[in-house]
């Protein structure tokens, strides 16, 4: 300013350096002035950009842990089994290692709590099991592995989309723009809403990807139950990959990020080739999350963002909010999601077994080697009760054992049968 005449209304940009990143706060005059008024301008700080505490993913972790504790309470090993591990825990003690090496409940309890059982889904119309199974876990080891992965992957995504974080040097470019004081600064969705809509989308993505994993698993695995949050976790991994692709132009070091992410995904999918791991849920969740990432995690281009806040005097031509390749990916992914989930649900409730149409697909979930077998046939036993003695004969191996029990419950017989056959 010279001679008290405003050649352009003065806008102050304050950049506050904080540990963990910079926050840019545009400062807007409380009273609008014109170039000829010469009057004093008063400024107030508008904090559009603020950090959001990652609460959604930790909430999911708490729900999973509480659900596991409830499952162990319902399991009540001392009442339903002959022997238990860590018996000092009372009804929270674990099934014997021979039955459940993951330190957890019996398969009967998991089924009672809502595990994915295709027969019950199709014949008894219990479709809700496609959702409930993702909140259940087979044991402490299973729970810890999934929850640690969820915290690492989920909180990263929640922080990334808990607010519209501008990447790389573009934030400095945006901060150096001259803002028009008369222009209404409309905060993006994630900045203006007290409940971050982008953050909610991460939660929706997690649940839909988990449903996709359960659905894909149910089309291949017909004889065993399935539980775990792995499908939803792989959905988050898939969404990270698609988010990188659809927002490719705004990333720095994109090749390094892409290679690192692909290696992590390959390693995790390779682990799913081990026996007793439902890799179908992993694959279904990953594909669902990959497509959902194109739909939910698309970002506007910086040229459009800068144009919204820049003074009209500095605007040259209107810039589109999204690039053409972003819109194409968004539309194609949405169509594939609708077709995939619709056709999958129709096939499931019609009792279609995709193994009948794909002779090699079972190798995607377990690859047999000389060290292990992929035979996961459900166990069954013939029982005979004489006075206070129960005799069980495993139908799979013809092993026989006699137990000193009178009037055992069905769940106790099933537990003993599982221990005998394994």
User: With contact defined as beta carbons under 8 Å apart, do 33 and 42 qualify?
Assistant: no
**Strand pairing class (381-386; 389-394):** antiparallel
Torsion 83-418-213-215 (CA) sign = negative
397 annotated active-site: no
User: Whole-angstrom Cα distance, residue 244 to residue 254?
Assistant: 8
Of 23, 214, 217, 230, which residue is the catalytic one?
A: 230
User: Whole-angstrom Cα distance, residue 111 to residue 196?
Assistant: 36
User: With contact defined as beta carbons under 8 Å apart, do 299 and 327 qualify?
Assistant: no
Burial class (CB in 10 A: 0-12, 13-18, 19+), 264: middle
383 annotated active-site: no
Of 48, 137, 142, 282, which residue is the catalytic one?
A: 282
Question: Which residues lie below 8 Å from residue 37, measured CB to CB, with a gap of 6+?
Answer: 6
How far does Cα 292 stand from its chain's mean position?
11
The phi and psi torsions of 386 (rounded to 5 degrees) equal -130, 110
Could you report how far apart the first and last alpha carbons of the chain are, in Å? Answer: 85
> Cβ atoms within 10 A of the Cβ of 419, count?
21
Task: Give the residues across from 384 on adjacent strands.
Answer: 391
Closest CA to 48 of 184, 244, 232: 184
Longest dimension (CA), the chain: 109
Vertex 50, ends 46 and 52: CA angle to 5°?
A: 150
Burial class (CB in 10 A: 0-12, 13-18, 19+), 202: buried
Active site residues: 230, 282
């Amino acid at each position: 300013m010279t001679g008290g005449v405003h050649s352009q209304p003065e806008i102050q940009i304050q950049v506050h350096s904080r540990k963990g990143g910079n926050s840019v706060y545009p400062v807007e005059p409380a009273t609008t002035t014109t170039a000829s008024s010469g009057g004093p301008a008063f400024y107030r700080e508008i904090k559009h950009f603020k950090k959001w505490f990652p609460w959604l993913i930790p909430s999911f972790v708490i729900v999973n842990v509480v659900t596991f504790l409830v499952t162990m309470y319902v399991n009540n090993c001392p009442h339903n089994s002959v022997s238990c591990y860590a018996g000092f825990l009372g009804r929270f003690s674990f099934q014997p290692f021979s039955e459940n090496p993951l330190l957890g409940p019996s398969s009967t309890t998991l089924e009672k709590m809502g595990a994915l059982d295709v027969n019950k889904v199709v014949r008894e119309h219990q479709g809700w099991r496609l959702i409930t199974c993702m909140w259940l876990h087979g044991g402490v080891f299973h729970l810890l592995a999934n929850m640690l992965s969820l915290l690492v992957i989920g909180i990263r995504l929640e922080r990334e989309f808990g607010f519209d974080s501008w990447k790389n040097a573009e934030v400095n470019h945006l901060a150096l723009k001259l803002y028009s004081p008369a222009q209404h600064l409309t905060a993006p969705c994630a900045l203006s809403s007290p409940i971050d809509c982008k953050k909610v989308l991460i939660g929706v993505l997690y649940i839909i990807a988990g449903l996709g994993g359960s659905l894909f698993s149910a089309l291949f695995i017909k004889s065993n139950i399935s539980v775990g949050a792995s499908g939803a976790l792989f959905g988050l991994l898939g969404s990270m990959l698609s988010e990188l692709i659809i927002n490719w132009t705004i990333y720095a070091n994109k090749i390094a990020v892409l290679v690192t992410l692909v290696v992590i995904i390959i390693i995790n999918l390779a682990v799913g080739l081990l026996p007793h791991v439902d890799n179908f849920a992993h694959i279904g969740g990953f594909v669902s999350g990959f497509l959902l990432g194109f739909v939910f995690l698309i970002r506007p281009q910086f040229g459009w963002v800068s144009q919204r806040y820049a003074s009209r005097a500095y605007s040259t031509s209107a810039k589109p909010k999204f690039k053409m390749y972003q819109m194409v990916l968004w539309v194609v992914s949405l169509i594939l999601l609708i077709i995939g989930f619709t056709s999958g649900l129709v096939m499931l409730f019609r009792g279609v077994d995709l193994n009948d149409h794909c002779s090699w697909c079972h190798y995607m979930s377990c690859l047999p080697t000389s060290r292990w077998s992929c035979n996961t046939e459900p166990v069954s036993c013939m029982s005979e009760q004489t006075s206070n003695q129960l005799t069980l004969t495993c139908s799979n191996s013809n092993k026989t054992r006699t137990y000193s029990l009178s009037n055992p419950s069905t769940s106790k017989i099933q537990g003993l049968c599982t221990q005998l056959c394994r």
